[in-house]
């Protein structure tokens, strides 16, 4: 059995889709659904069983079940970058992860877990994963969410007893199908498409730094199908343990993202930006915390054996808008 935590969430459910595409159905889905609509992410999937997130360790305490586990893909966490309850974040993103690490180390099974590019903070020390644990400990996250992810990375790197194969994945700006339940935390592609369809306009933040034009703030946008391909490769191939960036290695502007989305949504490659883009002030609560630039260094992943090119922003947005957002069926 393969355990996938956060199985109804964005990346978790997309990875279950990837496993199904590879013919794998002996999957234990672990999550909590609450009142969100993320259950829709699993309607098409095939799996062996569902286990409530709060009962997973009771399930693992049964030797007949624990002995059948082949590996753990731990995507379950509080993923809201605006969450202010630090104790809740540490319980979910740190304490729970430590328990899964200890189980995987004891049973000698692989573990892949979700870290985050939010651990890099404002990029004072760059966005390089190919550095020492001491250098990674210097990172200064800008919010409690990033801090909760960073301290687990730090803890994992200090452990003498580890799973035989493990990887902490620093996801950059992931977008694509399966994110529809995320509300404000959904990607800018999702929000751009819906704004344009509703109003014929798209709102982007004005810049408060002279070196960046309005809408010129840069992010490393990575498509969900590339993300799950990397995860499956790590899980099934010989791969050095450690912490890895998951991005494209190429930062692009929000303006580029918006115009690519609008062109695909409208079917008009010649649409005039001045007709569809409106620049608005950045909310006061974001001014001191806003990142103007992120770009993943991808050399470590390549050196570890990943050869497949990532989709460009144009390719990823085209697939997302044409094959999902513009259709009634919004799921993988």
For 255, the token pair is 């303006």
Burial 156-183 (b: 16+ CB within 10 A, else e): bbeeeeebebbbbbbbbbbbbbbbbbbe
Torsion on CA atoms 224, 199, 280, 213, rounded to nearest 10 = 60
Instruction: State the pTM of this model.
Output: 0.95
User: Is 182 one of the annotated active-site residues of the chain?
Assistant: yes
Q: Label the pairing between strands 111-114 and 166-171.
A: parallel
**Active-site entry in 47, 96, 113, 145:** 145
Instruction: Report the CATH number of the 2-176+221-249+293-311 domain.
Output: 3.40.50.720
Q: What does the domain layout of the chain look like in residue ranges?
A: 2-176+221-249+293-311
User: Is 149 one of the annotated active-site residues of the chain?
Assistant: no
71-120 residue pLDDT tens = 999 999 877 777 778 888 888 899 999 999 999 999 999 999 999 999 99
| CA 216 – CA 247 distance, rounded (Å) | 19
276-298 residue pLDDT tens = 999 999 998 888 778 899 999 99
Q: How many residues does the chain have?
A: 332
| CA 102 – CA 141 distance, rounded (Å) | 25
Positions in the chain short of pLDDT 70: none
Q: What is the pLDDT of residue 80?
A: 73
**Active-site entry in 107, 182, 279, 292:** 182
Strands (E) located in 6-136: 27-31, 49-52, 71-74, 111-114
Single out the residue of 78, 116, 127, 169 nearest to residue 292, CA to CA. 127
Q: What is the pLDDT of residue 287?
A: 82
Beta-bridge partner residues of 245: 170
At 75, is the secondary structure helix, strand, or coil?
Answer: coil
Q: What is the pLDDT of residue 35?
A: 75
How many helices (DSSP H) and strands (DSSP E) are in the chain?
Answer: 13, 13
| CA 262 – CA 245 distance, rounded (Å) | 29
| CA 187 – CA 172 distance, rounded (Å) | 11
Rg (CA), the chain: 20
Beta-bridge partner residues of 246: 171
């Amino acid at each position: 059995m393969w355990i996938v935590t956060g199985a109804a969430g964005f990346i978790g459910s997309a990875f279950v889709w990837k496993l199904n595409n590879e013919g794998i159905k002996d999957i234990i889905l672990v999550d909590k659904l609450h009142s969100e609509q993320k259950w829709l992410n699993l309607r098409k999937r095939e799996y062996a069983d569902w286990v409530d997130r709060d009962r997973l360790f009771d399930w693992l305490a049964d030797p007949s079940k624990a002995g059948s586990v082949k590996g753990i893909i731990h995507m379950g966490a509080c993923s809201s970058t605006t969450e202010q309850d630090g104790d809740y974040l540490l319980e979910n993103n740190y304490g729970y992860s430590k328990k899964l690490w200890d189980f995987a180390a004891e049973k000698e099974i692989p573990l892949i877990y979700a870290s985050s590019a939010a651990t890099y903070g404002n990029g004072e020390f760059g966005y390089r994963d190919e550095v020492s644990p001491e250098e990674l400990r210097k990172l200064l996250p800008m919010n409690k969410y990033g801090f909760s992810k960073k301290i687990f990375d730090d803890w994992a790197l200090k452990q003498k007893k580890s799973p035989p194969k493990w990887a902490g994945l620093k996801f950059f700006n992931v977008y694509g199908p399966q994110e529809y339940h995320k509300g404000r935390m959904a990607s800018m592609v999702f929000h751009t498409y819906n704004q344009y369809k509703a109003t014929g306009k798209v709102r982007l933040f004005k810049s408060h730094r002279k070196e960046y034009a309005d809408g010129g703030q840069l992010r490393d946008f990575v498509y969900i199908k590339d993300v799950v391909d990397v995860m499956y490769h790590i899980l099934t191939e010989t791969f050095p343990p450690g912490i890895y960036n998951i991005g494209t290695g190429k930062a692009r502007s929000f303006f580029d993202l918006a115009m690519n989305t609008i062109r695909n949504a409208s079917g008009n490659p010649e649409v005039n930006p001045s007709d569809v883009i409106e620049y608005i002030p950045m909310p006061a609560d974001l001014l001191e915390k806003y990142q103007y630039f992120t770009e993943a260094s991808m050399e470590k992943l390549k050196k570890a054996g990943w050869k497949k090119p990532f989709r460009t922003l144009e390719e990823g947005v085209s697939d997302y808008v044409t094959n999902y957002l513009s259709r009634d069926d919004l799921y993988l």
